[in-house]
Chains A and B, each alone.
Chain A
């Protein structure tokens, strides 16, 4: 049974009140924040995606692998490196290894990183930041000023707790099941995976995420990745995403 601290952190509340005076509220639009300029609320689209769109056909497999914030190859343990090389090879051959994405299953961190062009709506309410993903028609809850419960079962989305440091939202996530990949190509991780995300709205239309990937079983060291989001222009927000309509299965025996 989890104990949720419902009280808002006084510092962030004061910040919101102060900035509410200075910030000119524009008419209702999903791409402008409902609270102060530090808010990350809005409708966002990942920039730099290459893994879902048709453009991915023109992107070499190795370019689809999630790189570090410095553009380097991820620091993989030998077993993880072998597995990734096999995924690349099979993908190049046109016979990719099954991933959760291919089964219409959600997952963190893959839904936040290079895969897919589906918008994400971020909502801020007292005690919680909620991410609505058009991809997989799914949601993610970030419990503010809370702690991870002691006894957690691994899940596709993990357990996330967050707090504000100035105008950066810092999120800590554990308890991710081992089925979820790091990236669209399917880079694996272990049950030890621990993610630390820092979200910062750098201007009205830009959200920056720096994520630290901490998983000593899979990687030789902690590494950072960066994902930039841009305000999405969709007038009515997220579009429903239910896999059942994709009823034909492109397959080599089709």
Chain B
């Protein structure tokens, strides 16, 4: 499938693709709503595009000291704008703290859905509505 060629994913992923909703526009169901992980790092990339805004964050693993790149997903630009974000809210090189819901399944998880973002000490808009009803208005 054409998306695979464009994605920088390990070869092993190719087998997963057939069984899981693993393409570019997947379901939030893959994330664990009961867990939040706080990541501190440097922004490598900020993609202000549909279907989802993405933040690539370089995070230093506290145990190994290695820098790991996290892929953090948020909502669409349209939705984030209504929560106070702009396309300038973030840029490469910013120091950021991201609170994310990691994937439900898998070891070595480096993907999450954004709950809160603090950039250079300042919270950015609101990544997530406090309650589902707020998004529904």
A247 CA to B26 CA, complexed, in Å: 12
Min Cβ gap A234→B in Å is 6
A157 CA to B24 CA, complexed, in Å: 21
**Residue A125 is within 8 A (CB to CB) of chain B in the complex:** no
Interface string of B50-72 (1 = CB under 8 A from A): 11101010000000000000010
Quick one: which of B95-128 are within 8 Å of A by CB?
101, 103-106, 108-115, 127-128
Min Cβ gap A156→B in Å is 15
Spot the interface stretch: A68-76, A100-108, A147-155.
Answer: A100-108
**Contact assessment for B13 and A251 in the assembled complex, using a CB-CB cutoff below 8 Å:** yes
A52 CA to B80 CA, complexed, in Å: 13
Interface size class of B (residues with CB under 8 A): 35 or more
Min Cβ gap B28→A in Å is 5
Contacts of B77 in A (CB 8 A): 239
Closest A-chain residue to B137, C-beta based?
A47
Contact of A55 among B47, B106, B109, B132 (CB under 8 A): B132
Interface core residue of B6, B49, B74 (most chain A CB under 10 Å): B49
A54 CA to B73 CA, complexed, in Å: 9
- A interface residues, how many (CB within 8 angstroms): 52
**Contact assessment for A253 and B29 in the assembled complex, using a CB-CB cutoff below 8 Å:** no
A239 CA to B114 CA, complexed, in Å: 21
**Contact assessment for A243 and B3 in the assembled complex, using a CB-CB cutoff below 8 Å:** yes
**Contact assessment for A50 and B103 in the assembled complex, using a CB-CB cutoff below 8 Å:** no
Quick one: which of A31-87 are within 8 Å of B by CB?
47-50, 52-59, 61
A233 CA to B82 CA, complexed, in Å: 9
A244 CA to B76 CA, complexed, in Å: 14
Min Cβ gap B37→A in Å is 13
**Contact assessment for A239 and B50 in the assembled complex, using a CB-CB cutoff below 8 Å:** yes
Contacts of A91 in B (CB 8 A): 27, 29
A40 CA to B19 CA, complexed, in Å: 41
**Contact assessment for B111 and A248 in the assembled complex, using a CB-CB cutoff below 8 Å:** yes
**Contact assessment for B50 and A134 in the assembled complex, using a CB-CB cutoff below 8 Å:** yes
9 of the cross-chain contacts (CB-CB < 8 Å) are A91-B27, A134-B50, A135-B51, A184-B27, A239-B76, A242-B50, A247-B7, A248-B56, A254-B71
